[in-house]
Amino acid sequence: MKGYKDQNLTERLDRAAKARQDALEKYRARPKDDDPGVIKRRQERMAIAVAREAREAARKAQKAQEAAERAAREAAEKAEREARERREAIEKVIRDAAEAAERKAERDRRYAARKARQSQR
């Protein structure tokens, strides 16, 4: 075991203190909020966020427009279907009435023919 070292308490405490000190120095060495690089990155992130919001708004508007167009198209199709159904219902009533009149005329013709045959006997 090459990496193993016998450590006593003071060595471990010294290494922990050094690690804390290194972390503190790293934190202090980071750029401040008024650093030009930090400002530039912040502005880039803001520009990206604004562009994202604009795209989302455009997509939302497009979806709303498509929904409105779809609703209008469905309303027109529904009105057309209802008009066709009404027209077909009226045509059926007319057709049924005409068929009933034809049946009545045929029945009346048969009745008249039967009466004519009976009167000849």
End-to-end CA distance of the chain: 136
pTM above 0.75, yes or no: no
* Cα 106 to Cα 98: distance, rounded to the nearest angstrom: 12
Q: What is the pLDDT of residue 103?
A: 97
Domain contains 51? yes
* Cα 98 to Cα 83: distance, rounded to the nearest angstrom: 22
Domain contains 92? no
- Tell me which residue has tokens 């455009």: 58
Report the number of distinct structural domains present in the chain.
1
Q: What is the pLDDT of residues 13-72, one digit of tens each?
A: 899 999 999 999 988 888 787 888 889 999 999 999 999 999 999 999 999 999 999 999
Give yes or no for a contact between 37 and 31, defined as CB atoms under 8 angstroms apart.
yes
Domain that holds residue 58: 9-87
Domain contains 108? no
Domain contains 111? no
Domain contains 50? yes
Domain contains 56? yes
Domain contains 26? yes
Q: What is the pLDDT of residues 87-98, one digit of tens each?
A: 999 999 999 999
Domain contains 96? no
CA distances from 14 to 2, 7, 17, 115 (A): 22, 11, 5, 133
